[in-house]
């Protein structure tokens, strides 16, 4: 009788110990299997190579953290990675559970997208219809994304073949997008919101504000973006390479509004130069001649009261056929110079209803 009791007591302790041991081993091995899955997903992106350094698991809050994600084009000649993310925190959005939805939220820390012009050009034998790399990245998230945060992000265009190298970038990006999967029900056409701030090349202030509906196959949206008080001299590498001119002083602004409804787009882009002095790159006779031409061009086309040179480029049409309207663009240059200077702000002249009317 005593022996049976002793055996029973042993079993009573052995079973829980075994269960706990299995759970501990599974917990220890889980990051390994998740890392293997993530690296496999990145490796299967056509035309790209990617990997992650480490995976951390937090079962209590239903999250996993990807450390140092790397992605680059296989055919790239440079050593500049196309995409890096120092930290990707992917977790369940707990507050959405009260709405009966299981969705995720993602917090990206120090993401960098660097488009190297030479690396991204199509090479011989490369399939132009390869799967979009961004879709493969979303496959890393097991459930639909409802909230996105970006901290200290960077987006850059780099051309290494130019002399000097061209580097157009927007950095210090802080972004928040909410209700992307329309968890919070609303009668509005555009239930999701997005706000962002950033610093452009030349230390310009960038602001983005808008509403969206990403549940649709072709997302509807109403966005406005402004870039103000950028130092025009920061554009010199770009303007020297493509136009043979540079700026001795001045500021540049860019304002744009875009609305998309049922795949129909309507909007504009309004670039503006303020208090700028342009000079040619040559000091000889041709350089002096060019400076004279630039000076005459500015005198004819700029608004002298505000010392601004600007135009407004309207964009409208089906997304597969969208193009800038040339004649209004040219007329708007003269309108700024001789009729009324463009104001240093978005016009608030485009909204979602304009795109809806254009679709009809």
Residue 88 or 95, more confident: 88
Q: Which residue has the higher pLDDT, 346 or 236?
A: 236
The pLDDT tens digits for 326-357 are 566 556 655 655 555 556 666 777 777 776 66
DSSP, collapsed to helix, strand or coil, labels residue 42 as helix
Higher per-residue confidence, 251 vs 188: 251
Task: In whole angstroms, give the CA distance from residue 227 to residue 187.
Answer: 32
**pLDDT at 86 (0 to 100):** 96
| Span 91-105, pLDDT tens digits | 888 877 777 778 889
Max avg pLDDT among 40-49, 246-255, 292-301, 322-331:
246-255
Mean pLDDT computed over 222-251? 87
Distance between alpha carbon 266 and the CA centroid of its chain, in Å? 20
295 has pLDDT over 80: no
Q: What pLDDT was estimated at residue 166?
A: 86
> What is the pLDDT confidence band of residue 248, given thresholds at 50, 70 and 90?
confident
Region class of 193: left (phi > 0), else alpha (psi between -120 and 50), else beta: beta
Q: Please give the pLDDT value at position 190.
A: 86
Q: What is the pLDDT of residue 13?
A: 60
- Mean pLDDT rounded to a whole number for the chain: 77
pLDDT at 47: 81
Q: Return the pLDDT at 285.
A: 47
User: Which of the residue ranges 210-219, 224-233, 342-351 has the most confident prediction, judged by mean pLDDT?
Assistant: 224-233
For the ranges 170-174, 178-182, 216-220, 337-341, the maximum mean pLDDT occurs at: 170-174
Contact predicate 66/83, CB 8 Å: no
**Beta strand residue intervals within the chain, DSSP E:** 48-58, 63-73, 83-92, 104-116, 145-159, 166-178, 192-200, 205-213, 220-231, 245-261, 264-280, 308-310, 313-318, 323-324
CA dist 228 and 252 (Å) reads 7
∠105-111-115 over CA atoms, to 5°?
Answer: 130
Q: What's the CA gap between 175 and 166, in Å, rounded?
A: 26
Q: What percentage of the chain reaches a pLDDT higher than 90?
A: 23
Q: How far is CA 21 from CA 17, 24, 28, 194, 328, in A?
A: 6, 5, 11, 45, 73
């Amino acid at each position: 009788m005593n022996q049976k009791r002793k055996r029973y007591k042993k079993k009573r302790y052995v079973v829980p110990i075994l269960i706990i041991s299995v759970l501990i081993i599974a917990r220890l091995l889980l990051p390994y299997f998740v890392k293997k899955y993530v690296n496999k997903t990145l490796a299967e992106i056509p035309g790209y190579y990617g990997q992650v350094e480490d995976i951390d698991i937090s079962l209590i809050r239903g999250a996993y953290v990807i450390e140092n994600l790397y992605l680059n084009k296989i055919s790239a000649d440079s050593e500049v990675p196309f995409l890096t993310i120092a930290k990707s925190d992917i977790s369940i959005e707990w507050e959405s559970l009260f709405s009966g939805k299981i969705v995720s939220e993602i917090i990206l820390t120090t993401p960098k997208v660097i488009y190297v012009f030479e690396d991204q050009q199509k090479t011989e034998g490369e399939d132009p219809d390869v799967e979009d790399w961004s879709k493969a990245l979303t496959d890393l998230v097991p459930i639909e994304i409802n909230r996105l945060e970006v901290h200290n992000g960077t987006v850059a265009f780099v051309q290494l073949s130019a002399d000097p190298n061209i580097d157009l970038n927007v950095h210090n990006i802080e972004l928040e997008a909410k209700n992307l999967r329309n968890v919070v029900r609303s009668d509005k056409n555009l239930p999701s919101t997005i706000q962002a701030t950033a610093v452009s090349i030349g230390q310009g202030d960038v602001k983005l504000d808008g509403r969206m509906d990403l549940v649709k196959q072709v997302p509807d949206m109403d966005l406005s973006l402004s870039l103000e008080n950028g130092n025009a001299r920061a554009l010199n590498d770009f303007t020297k390479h493509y136009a043979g001119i540079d700026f001795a002083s001045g500021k540049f602004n860019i304002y744009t509004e875009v609305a998309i409804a049922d795949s129909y787009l309507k909007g504009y882009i309004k670039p503006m130069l303020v208090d700028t002095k342009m000079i040619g790159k040559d000091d000889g006779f041709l350089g002096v001649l060019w400076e004279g031409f630039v000076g005459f061009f500015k005198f004819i086309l700029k608004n002298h009261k505000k010392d601004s040179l600007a135009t407004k480029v309207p964009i409208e049409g089906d997304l597969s056929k969208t193009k800038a309207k040339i004649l209004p663009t040219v007329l708007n240059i003269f309108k700024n110079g001789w009729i009324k200077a463009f104001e240093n702000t978005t016009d608030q002249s485009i909204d979602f209803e304009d795109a809806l009317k254009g679709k009809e």
